Amino acid sequence: MSQAPPPTPGPSTAGPPAQHTDGVVRVEHLTKTFGSGPGAVHAVHDLSFEVRPGRVTGFLGPNGAGKTTTLRMLLGLVAPTSGTATIGGRRYDQIERPAHVVGAALEAASFHPGRTARDHLRVYAPQVGVPDSRADEVLALVGLAEVAKRRVGGFSLGMRQRLALATTLLGDPPVLLLDEPANGLDPEGIAWLRGLLRALAREGRTVLVSSHVLSEVEQTVDDVVIIARGQLVHASSLPDLARLARPRVSVVSPDAAALDALVAAHGWTVGASGRDGDAASYELLDVSAAQVGAAAFGGRVELHRLAGQDVGLEDLFLQLTAAPAQQTSAEAPAPGPGPAPVPSSTAPQTDAPAGGER
Ligand SMILES: Nc1ncnc2c1ncn2[C@@H]1O[C@H](COP(=O)(O)OP(=O)(O)OP(=O)(O)O)[C@@H](O)[C@H]1O
Ligand SMILES: [Mg+2]
């Protein structure tokens, strides 16, 4: 795995422990355009959000949404076209001992295959400024103690993910930025990761974990930041997101007139309706099957179908991040229901990318 950032060689003297309360991650009007002219890629566009300590935050968006690019800007691996990305109020290049402030694991695993897990960590330990013994501590933390002496070349994807996580924990950083850490983990591994991330957040750390599937992190995260096409489409606590998912009821009656009257009398919100001869069908929003059933029973309306449906969070996620009908670069407005706190009036970014990055 390409460990990012590579632990920088720094003073090996142990300094004061990093302030966990310093761990606010802030992205303000962040924009990244790769290339210029007609072929320019608007990877991230006027993106603003904040990630708080003591919580696990899911950084969510479909493939190509700009998650990795945003993380790379936070880690000083890509220069923003405009805007700022800070950790504890400082840009990455202003942080004195970065490995003690932020641990990051980006996608794309590449370890030296001939090295053992322990040796891999011992190579990094002096750069981070921690004793060799820290290697065994972090291996134990990620459940790799038993394979400490095995060569990484023979590791499974899940084991590599764990080793990547161990590397990020070497400097005991208060902020963790993890790009798709659940990739390659089996269900047991995902449950384990959930426990570890929650424990790290309980210690007061800031834990930002990206994923392109909400359901993968649904049980892990406290907050969500959802992006699509480089723009913010939603940021809130998970319960607030869940409230956007509207329950719906499908109901069919052979007596269309009676069902029409019932729906009108109760003022239910109609999502969709249909006719089939004398029969009527409705899709009603924000009401439960029990409520509709009770009302029909009370009104002596015969029903041939009554089915409640909870809109899953994943459906909502798909709605929020769905491509708009006419997508025109990163200018496309945020789609879907719910708050869309994206200023979308900014002019297209035409800045050439700052040099240096791929
Ligand atoms: N170095 C680069 N040069 C040109 N375009 C890039 C570069 N890096 C990323 N992009 C483009 O920026 C957009 C966002 O990519 P990014 O990797 O940030 O998305 P992502 O949300 O991490 O996606 P995934 O879920 O697939 O990992 C994509 O269109 C991608 O092709
Ligand atoms: Mg990515």
Query: Environment class of residue 275 by beta-carbon count within 10 Å: exposed (0-12), middle (13-18) or buried (19+)?
Result: exposed
Q: For position 108, what pLDDT does the model report?
A: 57
Q: Are residues 284 and 140 in the same domain?
A: no
Q: Are residues 220 and 268 in the same domain?
A: no
Contacts of residue 8, Cβ cutoff 8 Å, sequence gap at least 6 = 97, 98, 99, 127
Give tens-digit pLDDT for 87-134: 999 999 999 989 999 999 886 557 888 999 999 999 999 999 999 999
| Rounded CA separation 175/23 (Å) | 6
Q: Are residues 256 and 128 in the same domain?
A: no
Q: Are residues 121 and 265 in the same domain?
A: no
Q: For position 28, what pLDDT does the model report?
A: 97
Which residue range(s) make up the domain with 60? 20-240
CATH at residue 179: 3.40.50.300
Asked whether the predicted pLDDT for residue 338 surpasses 90, the reply is: no
Domain tally for the chain? 2
CA 55 to each of CA 24, 51, 165, 233: distance values in angstroms, whole numbers, following the listed order: 11, 8, 18, 20
Instruction: Mark which of 212, 240, 268 sits at the end of a domain.
Output: 240
Question: Within a domain: residue 319?
Answer: no
> Which residue lies with its CA nearest to atom 6 of ligand 1?
34
Contacts of residue 54, Cβ cutoff 8 Å, sequence gap at least 6 = 20, 201, 202, 204, 205, 206
Q: Are residues 254 and 234 in the same domain?
A: no
| Range 258-281 average pLDDT | 94
Q: Are residues 188 and 255 in the same domain?
A: no
Q: Are residues 84 and 194 in the same domain?
A: yes
> Which residue lies with its CA nearest to atom 13 of ligand 1?
43
Q: For position 109, what pLDDT does the model report?
A: 57
Asked whether the predicted pLDDT for residue 220 surpasses 90, the reply is: yes
Q: What percent of the chain has pLDDT over 90?
A: 65
Q: Are residues 161 and 284 in the same domain?
A: no
**Its pTM surpasses 0.85:** no
| Rounded CA separation 137/159 (Å) | 16
Q: For position 18, what pLDDT does the model report?
A: 45
In the three-class reduction of DSSP (H, G, I as helix; E, B as strand; rest coil), residue 260 is classed as helix
Question: Within a domain: residue 2?
Answer: no
From the CA of 216, the nearest ligand is 1
Q: Are residues 226 and 119 in the same domain?
A: yes
DSSP 225: E
Q: Which two tokens stand for residue 92?
A: 């990455």
> Which residue lies with its CA nearest to atom 11 of ligand 1?
43
Give tens-digit pLDDT for 136-195: 999 999 999 999 999 999 998 888 889 999 999 999 999 999 999 988 888 888 998 999
CA 273 to each of CA 40, 160, 278, 279, 302: distance values in angstroms, whole numbers, following the listed order: 44, 52, 13, 11, 17
Ligand 1 pocket by Cβ (under 6 Å): 34, 41, 43, 61, 63-69, 212, 358
Q: Are residues 129 and 271 in the same domain?
A: no
HSE of 127, CA atoms in CB hemisphere, 13 A: 15
